[in-house]
Amino acid sequence: MDLRVKKTKKNIREAFYQLRKKKPIEKISVKELSEMAIINKATFYLHYKDVYDLSEKLENELISTIIDSARQYDLRLGKTEFKLFADTITCAIIDHSKEIEILFSGEENNAFINHLEERIKEYIFMTFPNIPNNGEVNIILTLFIQGSYRAFIRNPTINREVFISTSSSILMKLINT
């Protein structure tokens, strides 16, 4: 990708994050965003259809970054790899919590964890094609993913290592059942 295009996209994204910190997405105009990014509106439209398209792309990239951080673990190798997979995703969520908070604030609050759950299940079901229709596995995954995320949001002052070890312990208990 051309260096100018990279710089332009970086400026657009940074401007979007700055505006999104201050206001809901429906209050952000392409004009305001373009001015903050120091580009003209036509340049914005070369890369994105509208601010919703930009937001969706940023959201998908963030979720992909979180999932990709854990793809190094082969879940077929057993519980230890599954634990490392979950711990790595938990760490990635913690590391990207500011971006998550900005992109998924307001009405988008539940969208992040729902999209993440969908993508994690997709990855697990590709690895284990025999379990997608297993209701028990689906329930366990939903409880763990949604529950861990809600616990993280509601307990922001808990030490990172304590949170990860506690969620890992719960995951291992769920896997053993």
Residue type, 101: E
The conformation of residue 102, written as its DSSP 8-state character, comes to: H
Q: What is the value of pTM for the model shown?
A: 0.84
Q: Distance between CA 128 and CA 137 in Å, rounded?
A: 11
If one looks up domain 3-48 in CATH, what number appears? 1.10.10
Burial readout 131-147 (b: 16 or more C-beta within 10 A, e: otherwise): eeeeeebeeebeebbee
Domain ranges for the chain: 3-48, 73-176
Per-residue pLDDT of the chain (177 residues; tens, 9 = 90+): 688 889 999 999 999 999 999 999 999 999 999 999 999 999 999 999 999 999 999 999 999 999 999 999 998 888 888 888 888 998 899 899 899 999 988 767 788 999 999 999 999 888 888 887 788 888 888 988 898 888 888 888 888 888 888 888 887 777 675
What distance in Å separates the CA atoms of residue 111 and residue 103, rounded to the nearest whole number?
10
Query: Could you give the angle at which helices 111-127 and 135-154 cross, rounded to 10 degrees?
Result: 140
